[in-house]
Structure 1
Amino acid sequence: MLCAQYNYLLADRFNWYEQNRSPVNACPLVCHLPELRDNPDYYSQKKTLPHLKKTHPWYGEIHSQVLQDVVKRVKVTFDRFLKKDSNDKRSGKPRFKARNRYRTFTYPQMKEGCLQGKFIDLPKLGKIKVVLHRTIPDGFKIKTASVTKKVDGYYLTLSLEDKTVPEIKPDFNPDKIAGIDMGLKEFLTTSEGKVVYITQHYRKAQKRLRVIQKRVSRRKKGSNGRLKAIKQLGKQHKTDVLTYPRSAILYQPP
């Protein structure tokens, strides 16, 4: 439902942009006369949500702030397309999302005490059991929560805030400055002579990935066997390309 709402709001912006972007003194002789209406921005599209719940009652099962976050996503995506960034570059044209490519939804605000032990209380979803990566430090409050669907399950990302934590001020010491030279044969070489070699995790995993990719190609499109093979391929990509390199960086001896 969130994916359909995202595509609808994005299409609304595209329709207005295509019909109203030509100035009056530079428009073609024959052109479409659009309906006169204001530019659909964040606030005008957010005002349509109550009407959406009346015409499509099943959207009432989704928390209102989650729907508002979809409107915000469309705004950010479209603004990046129209406006240039600090480097004088613009993003490409936003694409409509397929159902399997819209994998994350966000709660912009969370109630205090929503996390109790191994359960978190998500509005409209109720209490859900979670496996915590680490405990929440004392004094921190949960500000936002994002639920993401990945190939091996669902992941919950929490953003925390503690106003008592002071800002870190950079303290530069000229004696501790090091130079890094990125290379082709070696990953990098420091000014102290330390060499970090390229681990080639992806190239080492290509043989396993090739076998599973052939298995996907041999399955009939839309069949359960193909879906299982695609899931297995995604897990293998996650293990070989993400998990192994991350473990090699985080858990290597100093």
Structure 2
Amino acid sequence: MSNGDAWEKYRNFTNARIALGRTGGSLTTSEMLSFRMDHALARDAVWSEVDWESMQSVLTPLNQPMHLLKSQAGNRQQYIQRPDLGRLLHPDSQSSLKEQSITETEVAIVISDGLSAMAIESHVLPFLSALLPLLSSFRLAPLMLVENGRVAIGDPIGELCKCQITVVLVGERPGLSSPDSLGAYLTFDPKTGNTDEKRNCISNIRAEGLSYDYAAQKLAFLISEALRRKISGVNLKDTFDDQLLDSDFAKDVKSNKIRHIQKP
């Protein structure tokens, strides 16, 4: 078996750019075209925008109230060039939330395009369909849909909603093999000025990464622990997999009764 053949078989187990082959000192034509396609998808993911009115219709089957909000980034170009504006609520959105007079809640789920509209459009509905039944015992704020928002946009929203935890579902920065990765960021005691060490992150939620069910179970566990211990971020250790190993749920996974759960 040649070295090329030995490497080729590993391509069945990863989307990483390995065993590309070459013609002389260059990549083969097929690999160059593949690279250009992946690069174009990544660029499209960053620059595309979510149609938020359509997204509201898509999320209607969840039977959850929703609010449509905006960050202070006025357009996509400004959002890319000024990350700070994507972390701040537009004054009109601040006023809108204040007028809603949302009573104290435990969890607010914020949905924002981030750096991949594709991730939001592809994964938010099935992920929330798996997550919301696990949160039925908690007091939830309406779903917050934020145009041109970044992870920290959950902090001012959490303050205005007087909630204990915000969960921000956001399109992650695309890679050449993952233009549609969804991330979930949990923050206990959300308030303006929080920094990223106060957040827990579940990354790479998509068909080729963490399954919806597994990610939803992990997030529900972290929410419960954050409320119980009143901490998040570096102070809240993710022991979900340790709990999973001893549970009936794990036995079902091992016996293939639950085939779609993927452990990392």
TM-score tier after normalising by the smaller chain length: under 0.3
| TM-score between both structures, scaled by the size of structure 2 | 0.24
The structure whose residues are more often helix, as a share, is 2
Calculate the TM-score normalised by the size of structure 1: 0.24
